[in-house]
Amino acid sequence: MKKQTRRTFVASAVALGASASASAITTMETKDKKQLTHHVFFWLKNRDSKEDLTKLLEGLRTLEKIETIRKLHIGVPASTEKRDVVDNSYSASELMFFDDTAGQKIYQDHPIHQKFIENCSHLWEKVIVYDAIDV
């Protein structure tokens, strides 16, 4: 947690009551806190078009400016062993972590994300999203 954010959070928490704030801060500062994983797989319409893949990857890179994203991985299929259970047919993937569903919702509605969809959605024919919460 950035210092400024924490200071703001502490101030808000103190306003809510001292005992509540103490436990909230402990939770917020836990190193291995539960995160929300948002993993999206894209299948391009033109699967063999390097140009379209480049456009999609460039679009995905714009997302990293969205402030609620804790970590962003943009990927393509890895050259791991081919097995029946492995789906390597997708063109590109975005994997991001959020602190919670509220952070993910801010991302969904964010103008940068909306702009990405506007600019790039004509490129893909299929998208699958998996949202997971750590247990």
Closest contact distance (angstroms) between CB of 36 and a second copy is: 5
Taking CB under 8 A as the criterion, the residue among 57, 99, 106, 119 binding a second copy is 57
Closest contact distance (angstroms) between CB of 93 and a second copy is: 5
Q: Is the distance from CB of 68 to CB of 81 less than 8 angstroms?
A: no
Q: Computed over its alpha carbons, how large is the radius of gyration of the chain?
A: 18
Nearest residue to 1 (alpha-carbon basis) of 19, 27, 23: 27
Judged by CB under 8 A, which stretch of 7-15, 22-30, 32-40, 62-70 contacts a second copy?
32-40
Taking CB under 8 A as the criterion, the residue among 6, 39, 55, 110 binding a second copy is 39
DSSP-assigned letter for residue 122: G
Residues 6+ apart with CB under 8 A from 9: 1, 25, 28
Instruction: Compose the 75-114 pattern: x for residues touching a second copy by CB under 8 A, - for all others.
Output: xxxxxxx-x-xxxx-x-xx-x-----x--xx--x------
Closest contact distance (angstroms) between CB of 10 and a second copy is: 27
Burial 61-72 (b: 16+ CB within 10 A, else e): eebeebebbeeb
Q: List contacts with a second copy (CB under 8 A).
A: 35-39, 41, 57, 73-81, 83, 85-88, 90, 92-93, 95, 101, 104-105, 108, 127-135
